[in-house]
Structures are given as structure tokens and as C-alpha cells.
Amino acid sequence: MDRGQPDEKTLRAAVALACRAPSVHNSQPWRWELGAHSLHLYADRTRNLPAIDPTGADLVISCGAALHHVRVGLAALGWRAVVHRLPNPGRPDHLAAIEFEAREPNEAYVALATAIPRRRTDRRAFSSWPPPDAVLDQLVARARNEGVEAQVVTGRARDELLIAIDRASATQEADPAYRNEIREWSGVYPGASAGVPAANIPAGTRQYGNLRMREFAPGELLQPDRRLLGEDAGALLVLSTSSDDDLSRLRAGEATSAVLLEATSAGLATCPLSQPLEVVETRELVRDHVLGGSTCPQLVVRVGWAGFNADPLPATPRRPVIDVLGHQEQK
């Protein structure tokens, strides 16, 4: 190991953890490069989903989640990540350059790192027990620590958010290009390295009370017994930023990761919801009627207790590290 520099084995372990990050329909739209004394994150635009994510916002948020995951992994391995976001104006896909400072691992980061392989996107109905207010407050604090506002929406604001989700779903499902893209990226065959497998898609209804979930390809995941669940009491958090550019989206992705890992550590189930923000009309509805026009919505996160008799979710596939990590060319 170079003085002040983690060795390549350590960096590969951290990148492997980063690649467990959630991404839009498990597209994993990132690539990494090892420099002589640094690690670099790039957006992989070849993995963009143009019908679902026409602005590329979901792609950058996904990369932000991977960036936070790598920060957590490095911290658990004894290194502080010194992150330079969007370091190269001439290369907009160069999202982050990371340098390193030695540090002692602390208990909080080790706990978050151990949550990474346990975190799942749970699209099933949640139980009738609401998540504790103290935990929701902690999730809001985690997002704010990343420079992102988080709001637990209730009352009229929640009703407006549910309306936006319904309208976005209807708009997208009327688009043949969207339907084709959903079929391509969901219900993927066993052995695929990306996409959402049928084993992770609930069978049957996607309507949980007033909440309409996104329609994927037919799923194989059994729902818990709804007679035991009662009414779904999952909370909805909206993550938002003061601006709406790639730096804001990157930060929103980092906050998303922080929220999801904290919730996982607390034993809660989670599911990011990007659909109402993928359509211009409904994104504006969320901004104006849910957030009061004060900030730019970036992602919705659903949080709750998994069903009483819900089976553990299988891990979704991931691309091998060798496919996403290379060495920076030396000049």
C-alpha cells in the first residue's frame, strides 16, 4: 500500500459495495476508473432509459447512490473519501473524483456498510403499522446531512402526491415506447446481469389503498396475506433540492442512499418511487402542490414495515466489477 493510499484490493471491495446501489430499473448506469491516487465515477449514458428517463435525471440520481455507497464502503474499510463532484466541466459525465484520507472506521459507517448487501427494493404492500416518527426524523436528518431536503408528506400534500403518481402512470402507460422499455428492463430472465427479475416483482394487484405502484412485466413474487396486513401504512418521503441540475441530482442520489441504508439498519422496508417525477406535468404538480413551489423534487421514497409473513426478497443481479471498473489512462 502506498502511504496515504488504499491498495487496489481495498478499492475493488469498495466499488463492489457501490455496485449494490439501487438504480433506475437496476440499469446500473455507472462506470469507475482507478487513478494513480484517486477513484473516478462516470455516468454510463449507454445505459440510459430514454422513454422512462428522458432528461437523464434518474440516471444521475442512481450514480449518486453509488457514490454514497462507495463513501460508506471506504469509511468502513478505514478511509475517508474526499469527493470532488463534477470536477471536469469539459466532461459532464465525469461525476466525481475521489481522493483518500486514512481514518479509523467508526461504528456508524460499519453499520451502514453491513446494511448494503441487505437492502432491497420492496414493491409489495407494507403492514398496517406505521414506521416510528423517531426513525422518520432520523431519515430526514440523514438526507439533510447530504445537503438535500426531505419531507414526510401527510394530509393534503400526500393526497396531491398520490394524484401525481396516478397521472404519471396513466401518461406513461399510454406511450408505446415506455411500455416497450418497461418490458425490456423488467421480468428479466435468470442469469441476466441487470434489470428487475420477475422474482422481485409482486404478482397480482399493484394498488395499495390509494397508492398505485408502477406496472412492470408479470411478476412471481407472492404478496403477504392481505388479511393479516391490514391497510398499508407506509410513509412517503419526498427528497428535494434548491436547484435542478446534475450536481443537485448527484447529491439527491447520495441522500437517497443514506436514507435507504439508515432505514434498512432500522429494520424497515423501502422502495424508491421515481415515476411521478419522470413526467413534466406531474413533476410540476409535486413541486407546486406537495412542496409548495419552494424546492425541486428529485425522488420519492416509500418506507414501512414489511408484511408480517413476507418472505425475504432475493437479491437483484449485478454486473461484475470487472465490467464496470477500469484503470485511468496515464498521460
Task: For each of the domains in the chain, give its residue range(s) and CATH number, in order of start.
Answer: 8-115+316-327 (3.40.109.10), 133-304 (3.40.109.10)
Whether the per-residue pLDDT at 229 is higher than 70: the answer is no
Stretch 83-102: mean pLDDT: 97
Write out the H or E segment, with its range, that includes residue 187: strand 186-188
pLDDT 10s digits, 171-226: 999 999 999 999 999 999 888 999 999 999 999 888 999 999 999 999 999 887 76
Q: What are phi and psi of 250, to 5 degrees?
A: -60, -45
Q: Which residues are within 8 A (CB) of 208 and not within 5 positions of it... i.e. 6 or more apart? A: 125, 126, 232, 234
Residues 111-123 have a mean pLDDT of 97
pTM recorded for the entire structure: 0.96
* Mean of the per-residue pLDDT values of the chain: 95
Task: Output DSSP code: residue 306.
Answer: B
CA angle 216, 214, 114 (to 5 degrees): 90
- Indicate the pLDDT class of residue 228, thresholds 50, 70 and 90: low
**pLDDT digits 0-9 by tens, 292-304:** 999 999 999 999 9
